[in-house]
Structure formats: C-alpha cells, structure tokens
Amino acid sequence: MRPLLSWAGRRAVLARTYSPGPSAGYRGASGAQGYVRNPPVGTCDLQGELDRFGGISVRLARLDALDRLDAAAFQKGLQAAVQQWRSEGRTAVWLHIPILQSRFIAPAASLGFCFHHAESDSSTLTLWLGEGPSRLPGYASHQVGVAGAVFDESTRKILVVQDRNKLENMWKFPGGLSEPGEDIGDTAVREVFEETGIKSEFRSLLSIRQQHTNPGAFGKSDMYIICRLKPYSFTINFCQHECLRCEWMDLNDLAKTENTTPITSRVARLLLYGYREGFDKIDLAVEELPAVHTGLFYKLYHKELPDNYKTMKGID
Amino acid sequence: MRPLLSWAGRRAVLARTYSPGPSAGYRGASGAQGYVRNPPVGTCDLQGELDRFGGISVRLARLDALDRLDAAAFQKGLQAAVQQWRSEGRTAVWLHIPILQSRFIAPAASLGFCFHHAESDSSTLTLWLGEGPSRLPGYASHQVGVAGAVFDESTRKILVVQDRNKLENMWKFPGGLSEPGEDIGDTAVREVFEETGIKSEFRSLLSIRQQHTNPGAFGKSDMYIICRLKPYSFTINFCQHECLRCEWMDLNDLAKTENTTPITSRVARLLLYGYREGFDKIDLAVEELPAVHTGLFYKLYHKELPDNYKTMKGID
C-alpha cells in the first residue's frame, strides 16, 4: 500500500497560508520555511525555497542568467545541489520549469526526477529524497462530467438527446465536462443549453458515477454526476454537431425503453419514483458553506436536513 | 463561453475501440483514421497517426534515429509537417514526448505547442489547428479526497481525530486522497485504518463537497466525499505522524461541539438525523453496473430505489 498524502495532512496545509513549492503536505514530514542558496557549482547557482515539509522548491524562472545556462552545467549544478539537500535531510525537490526552458528536463530526469504535472507553459518535476517510497501528493486524478436531467413536472416530459457520433442511437441526458473552476450545477445548465437550446435551473444532485482507467479521461478516472434541472424554456434548438435527435419524452417511456444506456434508464426510474413519491426521496440539496481558514467557499451536497437538526435547536 | 468537449462527444469516443492520440473527441470534428507520413524535411521525418476527429498524433518514441536528431532539425521538420497538416485541414496535433527527449519540447513550444499534461516519464503537447478557440478536451481537473464517518450504532459513538499539523485542534473524520484507480469506499476504509487502526466496511455515501482553486490541489479543484462506515474493530491505534488525538465520541457531542469544522458538524447532524429517523433518509446506496461498449464496470451512487421501480415490474 503506497503511502499517500493523508487528507488530514492536506487539510493541515490548507489551514495555513499557502507557500510555493509542494502544494500539499506529505505525511510525517516537517521543516522550517526559508531560502537555501547553495554554493555556486560551475555556472549554475540553484536557489531553492524550503517548504514546511522539508522539501525544496526550485523555480527556474527565477534563476539568474538562465538563457546562458547550458544543460550540462545545469545538470552538474543540480547534481551537486541534490547531494547537499540530501545531506541536509531534505525530503523532496520540486523543479518548476518554464516550457521554453525545457532543455533542462532531460538532465533532471537523468538524475532521477520525473514529471509531477505540466500544464500550458510550464512543467513541474519531483525527486523524492525521503525514506521509503515517495509520499508526495499526486496531481488531479479525475475528470468531472455532468449531465442534466431536465424534467417538466407539469407535462411529465424529460429532455433527452441522441449523440451524432454514436454507433447506436441511445437516448441519454445532455451533458459534458466541467470547465475549470465550474460548479456542478453550472456545468449541467450550460451543457444542456449548448446541446439543446433549453434554459433550465439547478434543482438537485441525483446520482454520481465513478469509473476508472477511462480512455476518454487520458487514462485517469472520471466522476460523472447527474443533476435534476427545472426547465424555464421549452423550444428545442439542438446542436447539430453533437446531437442527432433531441426530444421531450414522457418519463415513463424513458424509464421503460431499451433504447438507452443503463445509467440513463436507472436515473429515469429514480426520477419516476421521485415524481410519484416526492423528490425529497431522491434529491441531494446543495448549500454554500465557508471553508475553514482559507477564505474560500464550497458547495456541499447531501440529503435535505430538517432545520431543527441543522441548528440542533430543541435536539438533545 | 469556451467550447468544450461535450460529454455526448466524449461518450461517443468511449463507445468505440480506443485509438492512440487524443483520448477524447472534440465537438464537431470528424475524420478517418490512418497513418500520415509527410515527406522527409532535413533529417526529420515525422510520422503522425490520424484520429477520428481529424487530429494528428505524433509519438516521438516511434521516430527513427531519434537520438541522432537535434532540436533544430526537429523544429524544422515539425514546422513543415504542421504546415502540411494545416493545409490538409487537420484539427489538432498531439505530440507525445518521452522525458529523456524533452529537448524537443521548447522547439515545439516556439511553434505554438503547449503542455496538455505530463506524468512520470512523458509529456503530451498540443497545437490546435481548427477554427476558433481550441475545442480539445482538458486533462483531469479534480483531486478526490474521501473521509470515513465510522459510526457504531450500538454505542452511538463516532470515530474522530485531530490533525497533528493543525493550528487549532478541531475534531474531524479520518480521511485522505484517493489513490489512482481506487473506489471511493475503498479509500475511506483504507484511510480510516491507516490513521486510526480501526477496521470498517462501507455502508453509504453521505455527502459531497466541491471546492475550486484549491492550493492543496495544485490550483485544481477538489471533490471531498464523506462515507458512512460500520466498524468491525474498536481498539484505536492511531498514526502518530498524522494525528494528535483519536477518540470514539458520542455522536450528540460531536453534533453540538464548536471544536470542529463546519462540514464535520453538518455531517454529524446528518448522521444524528439518520440514526434517529432511519439511515435510508440520508444514505446514497452504491451499485456496480457494466459500462456500455467499453467493457468497464463503474460504481453508481444514488438514493435507494425500491425494487419495483428498479425493474419497472408492475409500474405503469
């Protein structure tokens, strides 16, 4: 069982002012913050920043005379610096490299560094110096897709589409991948509008699916979330690029048809149950709460909780 | 509103045999699969693989004489190839580069390529050739953390910890980040055992939190999921590295204490409601279902659905 950053450890880091370097803590590590300048080696003088977990973070963009530095001199300097950091008992090295300076990646890799992640115009490499296997936190592990089950209670009709690119024409709910920083409900409303032209508003979260080693997620896992939406426009104007068909279908028909995916069928039956027995039986309500310490807010989803339990007034 | 790979489009790709190159479709794009060998330019002969969306995928590891290829010759060859692919109406180029060949990254970046992602020993760069802004699918956007609310109905006690690294000593549920490919419930059980020594089994999913621009997630979003677990061992042996304290606490006390986080307090009250009114009021049940086409299985979570609705037997 590979040791992993614990949520507890991670929250502990979030609980403090964020400092550059490893963006999350690693189990059992500790150290004071500060700057470490090791003696010049050849033409390369690496300045690292010490994080609270005893790791060193080096930002190449901050190095002097970076453009004149060749890969061999960098490798020599990095090798010496790593030796020193190891002797000082540092736990890890984080190397942040601008994409146009990527000639320094292979030399670092030859010293044992590997990619932690890369995005847009920079990459981050890591080298674990601590005991045992690396305890550094991983990068994002899931893609998040959201579908909108747009249900019109007054007509018992549900909005369904058939994909243009699919081999078989199966009815399903419109949906798509979350954009960076986008809330679940906002993704559902946006994707429904982009695909079908229907305007809607978030009502509840109905179901979550987790799937791994997903080719459509570049080998990562994906989380697929289905929301209940209420329509406030009804004229379909669907995206010809994506959809072959788009209809308002009777919920009973969708719950019974074989011309759909297992997850769509299941959610249709869940909706039928909620429609007949009360949506409180199937809905997860959403609430925005303040995050501790960080000044951020987050959305929390769970079954509706009676007010007296929320406040604990009169509960003993 | 930046166009994004639609879920529909993405599912369409998952519905087919996966081919290398872009791991997911992009909206409105189409093309036949095959191989594209463009005429040698200098010493660099780039062979690209055409994907179904009209994108070209080049795997440097497959190039001949890669070690003897210098960065300048590669850039010249890539520039000519991109010109040709553009003239052929290709939508995008995907460049897969082994970490030890990273000297080719900067030359590609100077032609407009940027990092899509990188992990371990390779990176993937992309260049959008289609009209308008890029419609290429993004990489994983969320970290997933799971906490276990281990509740012993027979004693009304709940398992809580205090983090060692925290400034304030707040009671919370043990938990941590999911390992790659790990199911939500398995993460909860593993983290509870690693932090507290308590053995437990998954009962239900209780709550989901989504938070963005999270420093603890390298600027990505995070999904934090709280599960209800049933203990089958009771002797605490907590991890000294991570925890300052670990206790079996009366659920009422946790629901009322101020010495906890808002989310822990909320879930404690949700549990109290479930304990008194029935856990069916708060639980999301889990079921494993077969994925369509891909041969994968997935876990689906939603409120318990009566069997007659699951089967639609006697429902009209």
Q: What is the pLDDT of residue A214?
A: 72
Is residue B11's pLDDT more than 80?
A: no
Token pair recorded at residue A303: 């079954």
User: CA angle A168-B290-A225, nearest 5°?
Assistant: 85
Task: Give the C-alpha separation, A252 to A152, whole Å.
Answer: 13
Nearest alpha-carbon partner for A297 in B221, B212, B57, B188:
B212
Q: What is the pLDDT of residue B241?
A: 85
B296 neighbourhood in chain A, CB within 8 Å: 211-214
Task: Give the C-alpha separation, A39 to A23, whole Å.
Answer: 27
> Do residue B120 and residue B201 come from a single domain?
no
Task: Give the C-alpha separation, A18 to A227, whole Å.
Answer: 33
Q: Is B253 within the bounds of a domain?
A: yes
Task: Give the C-alpha separation, B196 to B243, whole Å.
Answer: 8
> Do residue B77 and residue B103 come from a single domain?
yes
Q: Strands, DSSP E only, in A232-284?
A: 243-250
> Is the CB of residue B78 less than 8 Å from the CB of residue B40?
no
Kindly state the average pLDDT of the residues B78-97.
95
Is B148 near chain A, with CB under 8 Å?
no
B307 neighbourhood in chain A, CB within 8 Å: none
Range among A23-27, B71-75, B202-206 rated most confident: B202-206
Within 8 A by CB and 6+ apart from A241, the residues are A164, B27, B28
Higher-confidence residue: B49 or A206?
Answer: A206
Chain segment A165-223, per-residue pLDDT in tens:
765 789 999 999 999 999 999 999 999 999 999 999 999 999 999 999 777 788 899 99
Domain end point (choices B94, B128, B162): B128
Q: What is the pLDDT of residue B234?
A: 97
> Do residue A124 and residue A165 come from a single domain?
no
Q: Is A101 within the bounds of a domain?
A: yes
Token pair recorded at residue B188: 């909860």
Q: What is the pLDDT of residue B44?
A: 67
Higher-confidence residue: B239 or B21?
Answer: B239
Q: What is the pLDDT of residue A257?
A: 95
CB contact under 8 A, A300 and B266: yes
Is residue B269's pLDDT more than 60?
A: yes
Kindly state the average pLDDT of the residues B207-219.
87
> Do residue B76 and residue B192 come from a single domain?
no
Dihedral sign computed on CA atoms, order A251, A255, A260, A266? positive
A110 neighbourhood in chain B, CB within 8 Å: 100
Kindly state the average pLDDT of the residues A35-59.
73
Q: Is B116 helix (H, G, I), strand (E, B) or coil?
A: strand
Is residue A133's pLDDT more than 80?
A: yes
Is A302 near chain B, with CB under 8 Å?
yes
Q: What is the CA radius of gyration of chain A?
A: 26
Which residue in the block uniquely carries the two structure tokens 């030796």? A83
The chain A residue lying nearest B122, using CA atoms, is A115
Looking at chain A, how many residues does it have? 316
At residue A273, φ and ψ (nearest 5 deg) are -60, -45
User: Residues B180-199, buried b or exposed e (16+ Cβ, 10 A)?
Assistant: eebbbbbbbbbbbbbbbebe
Nearest alpha-carbon partner for A238 in A200, A194, A199:
A194
Task: Give the C-alpha separation, B200 to A18, whole Å.
Answer: 34
CB contact under 8 A, B13 and A165: yes
Higher-confidence residue: B167 or A92?
Answer: A92
> Is the CB of residue B203 less than 8 Å from the CB of residue B229?
yes
Is residue B287's pLDDT more than 80?
A: yes
Q: What is the pLDDT of residue B20?
A: 30
Domain end point (choices A128, A155, A180): A128
Q: Is B4 within the bounds of a domain?
A: no
Within 8 A by CB and 6+ apart from B213, the residues are A181, A296, B219, B221
Q: What is the pLDDT of residue A296?
A: 81
Kindly state the average pLDDT of the residues A135-141.
91
Q: What is the pLDDT of residue A109?
A: 98
B263 neighbourhood in chain A, CB within 8 Å: 289, 300
Is residue B19's pLDDT more than 50?
A: no
Is residue A24's pLDDT more than 80?
A: no
Task: Give me the residue from A143, A175, A194 closest to B141, CB to CB.
Answer: A143
H or E element in which residue B200 lies: strand B200-211
What residues of chain B, 117 to 146, have a C-beta less than 8 Å from chain A? 117-124, 137-146
Beta strand A34-37 pairing with A142-152: unpaired
At residue A275, φ and ψ (nearest 5 deg) are -65, -35
A124 neighbourhood in chain B, CB within 8 Å: 218
**Nearest CA-CA distance, residue B120 and chain A, Å:** 5
Q: Is A202 within the bounds of a domain?
A: yes
Is residue B248's pLDDT more than 70?
A: yes
> Do residue B72 and residue B165 come from a single domain?
no
> Do residue A164 and residue A265 come from a single domain?
yes
Q: Is B219 within the bounds of a domain?
A: yes
Lowest-pLDDT range of A111-120, B32-41, B66-75, B261-270: B32-41
Q: Is B271 within the bounds of a domain?
A: yes
Q: pTM to 2 decimals?
A: 0.86
Q: What is the pLDDT of residue A254?
A: 97
Q: What is the pLDDT of residue A31?
A: 46
pLDDT band at A40 (very low <50, low <70, confident <90, very high): very low
Nearest alpha-carbon partner for B262 in B304, B209, B217:
B209
> Do residue A89 and residue A67 come from a single domain?
yes
Q: Strands, DSSP E only, in A2-60?
A: 34-37, 47-50, 55-59
Kindly state the average pLDDT of the residues B245-272.
96
Task: Give the C-alpha separation, A103 to A198, whole Å.
Answer: 49
CB contact under 8 A, A191 and B302: no
If you average pLDDT over every residue of chain A, what do you get?
86
Beta strand A200-211 pairing with B297-302: antiparallel
Domain tally for chain B? 2
Q: What is the pLDDT of residue A19?
A: 30
> Do residue B204 and residue B97 come from a single domain?
no
> Which CA distances in Å does B302 have to A96, A268, B148?
41, 12, 18
Q: Is A1 within the bounds of a domain?
A: no
Is B158 near chain A, with CB under 8 Å?
no
CB contact under 8 A, A102 and B103: yes
Parent domain of B89: 49-128
Is residue B1's pLDDT more than 70?
A: no
User: CA angle A228-A231-A236, nearest 5°?
Assistant: 115
> Which CA distances in Å does B53 have to B20, B92, B301?
12, 9, 33
Higher-confidence residue: B234 or A14?
Answer: B234
> Is the CB of residue B26 less than 8 Å from the CB of residue B92?
yes
Is residue A15's pLDDT more than 50?
A: no
Q: Is B30 within the bounds of a domain?
A: no
CB contact under 8 A, A12 and B165: yes
Is B65 near chain A, with CB under 8 Å?
no
Nearest alpha-carbon partner for B142 in A203, A103, A221, A163:
A221
Nearest alpha-carbon partner for B147 in B14, B292, B266:
B266
Task: Report the complex ipTM.
Answer: 0.85
Is A107 near chain B, with CB under 8 Å?
no
> Do residue A170 and residue A225 come from a single domain?
yes
Task: Give the C-alpha separation, B289 to B309, whole Å.
Answer: 17
Kindly state the average pLDDT of the residues B159-182.
89
Q: What share of chain A is helix, strand, coil (3-state, %, to 5)?
A: 30, 35, 40
Return the CATH number at B173: 3.90.79.10
Q: Find how far residue B185's CA is from the centre of its chain.
A: 15
Task: Give the C-alpha separation, B159 to B153, whole Å.
Answer: 12
| DSSP code of residue B302 | E
**Nearest CA-CA distance, residue A170 and chain B, Å:** 11
Q: What is the pLDDT of residue B33?
A: 54
Kindly state the average pLDDT of the residues B62-83.
88
Token pair recorded at residue A243: 């959809």
Q: What is the pLDDT of residue B64?
A: 73
Token pair recorded at residue B116: 């899509």
What residues of chain A, 221 to 240, have a C-beta less than 8 Å from chain B? 221, 223-224, 239
Within 8 A by CB and 6+ apart from A263, the residues are A207, A209, A224, A226, B289, B300
B244 neighbourhood in chain A, CB within 8 Å: none
Residue B16: CA count within 13 A, CB half-sphere: 17
Which residue in the block uniquely carries the two structure tokens 């039986």? A281
> Do residue B217 and residue B113 come from a single domain?
no
Dihedral (C-alpha) B70, B73, B75, B78: value to the nearest 10 degrees? -120
Q: What is the pLDDT of residue B306?
A: 94
What residue type is B183 in one-letter code? D
What residue type is A59 in one-letter code? R
**Between A and B, how many residue pairs show a Cβ–Cβ distance under 8 A?**
425
pLDDT band at A39 (very low <50, low <70, confident <90, very high): very low
> Do residue B200 and residue B73 come from a single domain?
no
Q: What is the pLDDT of residue A26?
A: 66
Return the CATH number at B76: 3.40.630.30
Lowest-pLDDT range of B34-38, B207-211, B265-269, B274-278: B34-38
> Do residue B148 and residue B101 come from a single domain?
no
> Is the CB of residue A5 less than 8 Å from the CB of residue B242?
no
Q: What is the pLDDT of residue A44?
A: 67
CB contact under 8 A, A119 and B105: no
